Amino acid sequence: MSARERILAKLRKAQPELPQHLPSLDAHYAPRVRGESRQERLARFRTGIEGFHADVHISTAGNWPQVLATLCAEKNIQTLMYGAATPAAAQLEATAFGGTTLRPWAGQFEDLKADLFHRVDAGFTLARGAIAETGSLILWPSGDEPRTLSLIPPIHFVLLDAATVHPTFYDALVNENWAAGLPTNALLISGPSKTADIQQTLAYGAHGPKELIVIVINVEGGTV
Amino acid sequence: MSSPAQQSAGKPVAFVSAQALRARMHDAVNDPHLRQSFRGAMDFLMAKRAAQFPDQGELDSLRSLSESIRQYSLSKLPDLLEQLEANLTRNGVQVHWAETPEEANAIMLGIAQRHAARLIVKGKSMVSEEIEFNHAMEAAGVGALESDMGEYIVQLAGEKPSHIIMPAIHQTKQQIAKLFAEHIPGVDYTDNVDALIQIGRRVLREKFEVADIGLSGVNFAVAETGTLCLVENEGNGRMCTTVPKVHIAITGIEKVVEKLEHVAPLFSILTRSATGQAVSTYFNMISGPRRGEDKDGPEEVHLVLLDNGRSQAYADEQLRKTLQCIRCGACMNHCPVYTRIGGHAYGTTYPGPIGKIISPHMMGLEQTHLLPTASSLCGACGEVCPVKIPIPELLIRLRGEANSAPHANPAMVGQGAAYDPKISLLWKLWARLYARPATYRAFTWLATRFRALTPTQQSGWTAARTPLKPASRRLRDMVKDRR
């Protein structure tokens, strides 16, 4: 018998005849639903993620590339890497970036590894959505926007559409039926990387990005 | 006393002798610096957790839900493990099963050797500590480097983690500054925390870039999707699972849940209970190696499922509750014993209340029967447990298992390890005297008359206390007088 068979046999021998009732998650979450507007949800998201040391800039569908270009200039970013095949890429490429070189991801990770670790100052990705309750971004990296874009460069810029902010993580994964098909890697990101492993003293920029900057497309143009 | 079952289970990974345990606890209690470190850290963590749960009703509801999800998952454990394996395999993840630490290490060494790996970078994994992974790899000439800042510090110092969430909680920044200056070439002494973290970042980024394999633990494994979930703040978990060509994840068999939606409440209560964070910086859901259009990520992903005594806990309805644990560490943060002696004194991979109830299954009661006695049964651990494990009840149960006469078909390896026929006889006598009114009356009549004969040396009691002596008059006599 293999280890697998032995472990499963031991567990089967002891397994209760009837499983416990499937817990009702709705019974917990339904009474906690907030009747909040999109702007209120966005405000909650913003308060949450700013509490985790991320910067948030509210912009519009037309103006966000300009906001990004200005931020890149302020932060003296030499090279910004982004995914080439996204709708946002076309908008980026049509914008004047001054001293910042726009570099689309091209090829496999192995071709870009050394550059990502040593020569790319910032990565730019889209967010699939966000979570108001905790101030979290949802990212589903893909071939167009690989995982390491949001991990290795010291600064991570994220573009978020305000219409995609969910009240809770539970709402996001149930309403979008994530269980029907997850990508290789799905992520929640709440702020730049950090640690409190030395004497409970919080320090930012542990192993991932040192800065997380969120640019929000707010179609309703409301103030947040 | 060594039962045949204990012998056949093989040599335990670690050994906690009663003498060594008492000596370590004694030393820890008498170390004011250590006590100050832990007191401060535990107060900090307790306050942060409390701030996350301002509403008792919300906390109660979330705890009940989390408990029911864990119990539901355990009630279907073998089915869910098979479902997990099938879906992971469909996603391209290779699944391995190990009954013992030796088997788990052999599986992972095999993968390392197949890839001619020289360096494995590690994300935080308590299961890898449980199986002494680093030693096993180094003995075979493969480097294993911790990359969680706390684990990195502990590894540099040649120590083990003293807390399951904050491994280097026992070290001061000055000690860490000295450690870095001594061990990292070209680094001068600085006790500026930001500077120390940037040094760690620089050193470890070089290693992420060149490592052949990344190792990680697993916080939740989702059966229906074949997904491994990882909770972390530093980004080293993402580095280990994304940058090297091979990712190996290792987890205990109990970590599986059926549905993806089940992770939402568990993740929320985990981070809030552990470090008092509304959410961790990263929640990483991995469902396979690089495939299709993907441009990065590991080319191979492996999952090692480890038993190491968990199936023994599973076999007993009460002890099975031990496996509900989601490893948040709240029980140790709130434990008056842990706060006073720190994590190292226990001598086991998992310290504190959870360590006292899980270690006996991993190592046998022969080695661990004293651990459940290192408790005042104050109940704080059970009250804060996010999945409502009745830890005090389990401590009493384990004391019973250790002290009862050895019998056939014991629930645990090492049952009866602390059995003493003399003490057992004493308690039997006591029970007889106290269970019958006539013998009780006779006993108390004699005890009050002959109280002068009470021995002044009363074993452990008089080691730090004045001797016990019966009163000159019985309560029943005093009541009689008042009538």
Domain boundaries, chain B: 49-171+212-311, 422-482
- What pLDDT does A223 receive? 54
In the block, tokens 């001293």 appear at: A99
Residue of B19, B95, B117 lying closest to B302 (CA atoms): B95
Contacts of A105 in chain B (CB under 8 A): 295
How many CB atoms lie under 10 A from the CB of residue B47? 10
> How far apart are alpha carbons A127 and A215 in whole angstroms?
10
Task: Find residues 56-115 of chain A whose CB sits inside 8 Å of chain B.
Answer: 105, 107-109, 113-114
The per-residue pLDDT for B26 is: 93
Chain A: give the shortest CA distance to residue B376, in Å: 28
B402 and B417 Cβ atoms separated by less than 8 Å: yes
Q: Indicate if ipTM > 0.90.
A: yes
**Could you tell me what percent of chain A has a pLDDT over 70?**
98
Rounded to a whole number of angstroms, the distance from the CA of A162 to the nearest CA of chain B is 20
Q: Which of residues 29-68 of B touch A (CB under 8 A)?
A: 40-41, 44-45, 58, 61-62, 65, 68
What whole-number distance in Å separates Cα of residue B233 and Cα of residue B217?
A: 14
Alpha-carbon distance A107 to nearest alpha carbon in chain B (angstroms)? 7
Residue type (1 letter), A20? Q
**Residues ≥6 apart with Cβ < 8 Å to A122:** A72, A75, A77, A79, A80, A81, A153, A154, A155, A156, A157
Q: Which CATH architecture has domain A37-194?
A: 3-Layer(aba) Sandwich (3.40)
How near does any CA of chain B get to the CA of A55, in Å? 14
3-state secondary structure of A216: strand
Q: What is the pLDDT of residue A79?
A: 98
CA B286, chain centre distance (Å): 25
Interchain CB distance below 8 Å, A187 and B285: yes
Q: Is A193 within 8 Å of A205 (Cβ atoms)?
A: yes
Q: Are B330 and B49 in contact (CB under 8 A)?
A: yes
The pLDDT assigned to A20 comes to 80
pLDDT value, residue B5:
34
Q: Which amino acid is at B40?
A: G
pLDDT of amino acid B12: 37
CA atoms within 13 A of residue B322's CA, in its CB half-sphere: 30
Closest to B242 in 3D by CA, of B283, B312, B301:
B301
Instruction: Please name the residues in contact with A20: beta carbons below 8 A apart, sequence gap of 6 or more.
Output: B68, B71, B72, B75
Q: Is the pLDDT of residue A173 over 50?
A: yes
- What is the DSSP secondary structure assignment for residue A210, as one 8-state letter? S
CB-based contacts of A197, cutoff 8 Å, min separation 6: B148, B149, B150, B153, B166, B167, B168, B234
Q: B112 burial class (0-12, 13-18, 19+ CB within 10 angstroms)?
A: buried
What is the sign of the dihedral through the CA atoms of B378, B381, B384 and B388?
A: negative
Is B392 an 8 Å CB contact of chain A?
no
Residue corresponding to tokens 């308690």: B427
CA distance B124 to chain A (A): 12
Q: Check residue A18 and give its pLDDT.
A: 79
Residues from chain A that touch B260, judged by Cβ atoms under 8 A, are 173, 178-179, 182
**Residue whose tokens read 């007993």:** B316
Query: How close A119 gets to chain B, by Cα (Å)?
Result: 14
SS3 B444: helix
Please state, in angstroms and rounded to a whole number, the distance separating the CA atoms of residues B172 and B155.
15
The SS3 call for residue B144 is strand
- What integer best gives the mean pLDDT of chain A? 95
Which residue is closest to A195 within chain B, CA to CA?
Answer: B234
- Confidence at residue B374, expressed as pLDDT on a 0 to 100 scale: 94
State mean pLDDT over A52-71. Answer: 97
Strand order in the sheet with A211-217: A55-59, A211-217, A155-161, A122-126, A79-82, A101-104
* Amino acid occupying residue B151: E
| B contacts of A131 (beta carbons < 8 Å) | 279
HSE toward the beta carbon, residue A204, CA cutoff 13 A: 13
CB distance B168–A207 less than 8 Å?
A: no
Instruction: Print pLDDT tens along chain B (483 aa).
Output: 333 333 333 333 455 677 788 899 999 999 998 999 999 999 999 999 999 999 999 999 999 999 999 999 999 999 999 999 999 999 999 999 999 999 999 999 999 999 999 999 999 999 999 999 999 999 999 999 999 999 999 999 999 999 999 999 999 999 999 999 999 999 999 999 999 999 999 999 999 999 999 999 999 999 999 999 999 999 999 999 999 999 999 999 999 999 999 999 999 999 999 999 999 999 999 999 999 999 999 999 999 999 999 999 999 999 999 999 999 999 999 999 999 999 999 999 999 999 999 999 999 999 999 999 999 999 999 999 999 999 999 999 999 999 999 999 999 999 999 999 999 999 999 999 999 999 999 999 999 999 999 999 988 889 889 999 999 999 999 999 998
Nearest to A216 by CA among A96, A111, A132: A132
The more confident residue out of A222 and B1 is A222
Contact A12 B292 (CB under 8 A): no
Of A108, A189, A197, Cβ closest to residue B153: A197
Decide if pLDDT at A222 tops 60: no
Q: Residue B169: closest CA among chain A residues belongs to which residue?
A: A199
Question: Are B282 and A193 an interchain contact pair (Cβ–Cβ within 8 Å)?
Answer: yes
What is the interface size between A and B, counted as CB pairs within 8 Å?
A: 246
User: Of the candidates B68, B81, B150, which has its C-beta nearest A8's C-beta?
Assistant: B81
Query: Nearest CA to B296 among A154, A180, A208, A116?
Result: A116
Scan residues 437-456 of B and list those with Cβ closer than 8 Å to A: none
Which residue type does A86 have? Answer: T
- Answer whether A145's CB lies under 8 Å from B250's CB: no
pLDDT given for residue A224 in this prediction: 52
Output the pLDDT for position B186: 95
Half-sphere exposure of B445 (CA within 13 A, CB side): 6
Tokens representing B185 are: 């070439």
Q: Which CATH superfamily is domain B49-171+212-311 in?
A: NagB/RpiA/CoA transferase-like (3.40.50.10420)
Angle at A48 between CA A42 and CA A51, to 5 degrees: 135
Sign of the dihedral through C-alpha B161, B165, B168, B169: negative
A145: Cβ–Cβ under 8 A, 6 or more apart, which residues?
Answer: A82, A83, A86, A105, A125, A126
Mutate to test the interface with A, among B228, B233, B316 (most CBs of A within 10 A): B233
Q: Residue A83, class by beta-carbon neighbours within 10 Å (0-12 exposed, 13-18 middle, 19+ buried)?
A: buried
CB contact under 8 A, B233 and A206: yes
Choose the mutation target among A207, A210, A211, A214 for the interface with B, i.e. most B CBs under 10 Å: A207
Q: Does A25 touch chain B (CB under 8 A)?
A: yes
Backbone angles phi, psi at A95, to 5 degrees: -110, 145
pLDDT, residue B9, reads: 34
Measured in angstroms, the CA of B476 and the nearest CA of chain A are apart by 51
Which of B36, B247, B295 would you mutate first to test chain A, the one with the most A CBs within 10 A? B295
Q: Which of A7, A143, A186 sits opposite B253 (nearest CB)?
A: A7
- Mean pLDDT, rounded, of chain B: 94
Specify whether the CB–CB gap between A83 and A149 falls below 8 A.
Answer: yes
Phi-psi region of B92 (alpha: psi -120 to 50; beta: other; left: phi over 0): left
User: In the numeric block, which tokens belong to residue B85?
Assistant: 């394996």
**Distance between CA atoms of residues B222 and B257, nearest Å:** 5
Of B415, B323, B347, B312, whose CA–CA distance to B73 is shortest? B323
Identify the pLDDT of residue B7: 33
Amino acid in position A57: H
Edge-first strand listing for the sheet containing B256-257: A165-166, A129-131, A136-139, A185-189, B282-286, B227-232, B220-222, B256-257
Q: Which one of B62, B238, B288 has the shortest CB-CB distance to A184?
A: B288
Q: Do A193 and B234 touch (CB under 8 A)?
A: yes
